Amino acid sequence: MALEVIGKLIKVLPEVTGQGRNGAWVKQEFVLETQEQYPKKVCMAAWGDKTNELRQFALGDTLKASISIESREYNERWYTEVRAFRIDLNNSDAGYSAPQQNQGFAPRAATQSAPVADLPSFSEDDQDLPF
pLDDT digits (tens), the chain, 131 positions: 568 999 999 999 999 999 989 999 999 999 999 999 999 999 999 999 999 989 899 999 999 999 999 999 999 999 999 999 999 998 765 444 444 444 454 555 555 555 555 655 655 555 666 66
Architecture of domain 3-89: Beta Barrel (2.40)
70 contacts: CB under 8 Å, gap ≥ 6: 80, 81, 83
Predicted pLDDT at 95: 41
Whether the model pTM is above 0.75? no
pLDDT of amino acid 26? 95
